[in-house]
């Protein structure tokens, strides 16, 4: 399966993201991709919001998006991107890419919605060259008991309205335990108001451990 249909979410997400971009999301995407180079795989590219931010050192972007309406929009944006972009269907849990075939993998607001995030991280690690970079911009589990409780209550209904998104996942912890070395990471609230269960965010760069340095991956409780 390479398609995942979320017609309502696909219709409204670009509008919501445009508002987010004006509030600071655009700067976050630029921060995520600054200094990237070589061949890049972007997993869950959505409608292509990252494409404009790829620096000229990137030689190619292969962008996977399983939602057909978002993928069509991404294809149009990819045609005008500053670097070569190819948009394809594809599921994050089973990446259609060879082992060690990319210099960079980009995960941008996608690990919250995949069905098996630990398996996805394993696939991302597989397709990265040893020493290659996983660049991630995600909302994550909060750092206080009250916030986590709020997020768990929200997750009862949130995924139905947000394309399968879960707000309480400890994605940053999973990355650190999936054969990656976290090189740089910044936690922040966006939006700053704590009234949004999806406000805890992280931007980071993790490198794929070389074979002699890798350990067992897994999902913490």
The two structure tokens encoding residue 47: 């409608």
Torsion from C-alpha of 126, 128, 133, 138, nearest 10 degrees: -50
> Can you give the pLDDT at residue 16?
75
Q: What is the pLDDT of residue 219?
A: 47
218 is a domain residue: no
Q: How far, CA to CA in Å, does 178 sit from each of 20, 84, 125, 135? A: 30, 30, 8, 14
The per-residue pLDDT for range 29-45, each reduced to its tens digit, is 999 999 999 999 999 99
Q: Are 45 and 87 in contact (CB under 8 A)?
A: yes
Name the DSSP letter for residue 212. Answer: T
Q: Indicate whether 187 belongs to any domain.
A: yes
In a domain, 217, yes or no: no
Count the domains in the chain: 1
pLDDT at 175 over 80: yes
- Containing structural domain, residue 69: 7-208
Note the pLDDT of residue 146.
94
In this prediction, residues 49-67 reach a mean pLDDT of 97
Residue 77 domain-assigned? yes
Supply the mean pLDDT for the chain: 90
Q: Is 216 part of any domain?
A: no
Q: HSE-up of 46 (CA within 13 Å, CB side)?
A: 23
Answer yes or no: is 75 within a domain: yes
Angle between helices 68-79 and 7-20 (to 10 degrees): 40
In a domain, 96, yes or no: yes
pLDDT for 161 equals 79
Is 184 domain-assigned? yes
Q: What is the DSSP letter of 83?
A: S
In this predicted structure, what is the pLDDT of residue 142? 95
> Residues 136, 114: contact at Cβ < 8 Å?
no
**Is the pLDDT score of 213 beyond 60?**
no
Specify the CATH number for the domain of residue 202.
Answer: 3.40.50.150
């Amino acid at each position: 399966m390479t398609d995942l249909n979320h017609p309502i979410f696909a219709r409204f997400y670009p509008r919501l993201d445009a508002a987010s971009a004006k509030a600071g999301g655009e700067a976050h995407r630029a921060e995520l991709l600054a200094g990237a180079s070589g061949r890049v795989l972007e997993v869950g590219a959505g409608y292509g919001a990252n494409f404009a931010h790829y620096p000229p050192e990137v030689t190619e972007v292969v962008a996977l998006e399983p939602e057909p309406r978002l993928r069509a929009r991404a294809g149009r944006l990819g045609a005008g991107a500053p670097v070569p972009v190819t948009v394809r269907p594809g599921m994050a849990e089973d990446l259609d890419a060879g082992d060690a075939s990319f210099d960079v993998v980009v995960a941008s607001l996608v690990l919250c919605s995949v069905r098996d995030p630990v398996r996805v991280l394993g696939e991302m690690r597989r397709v990265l060259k040893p020493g290659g970079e996983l660049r991630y911009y995600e909302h994550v589990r909060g750092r206080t008991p009250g916030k986590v409780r709020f997020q768990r209550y929200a997750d009862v209904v949130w995924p139905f309205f947000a394309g399968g998104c879960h707000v309480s996942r400890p994605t940053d912890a999973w990355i650190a335990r999936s054969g990656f070395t976290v090189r740089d990471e910044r936690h922040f609230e966006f939006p700053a108001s704590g009234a949004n269960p999806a406000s805890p965010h992280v931007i980071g760069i993790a490198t794929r451990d070389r074979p002699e340095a890798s350990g067992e991956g897994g999902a913490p409780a």
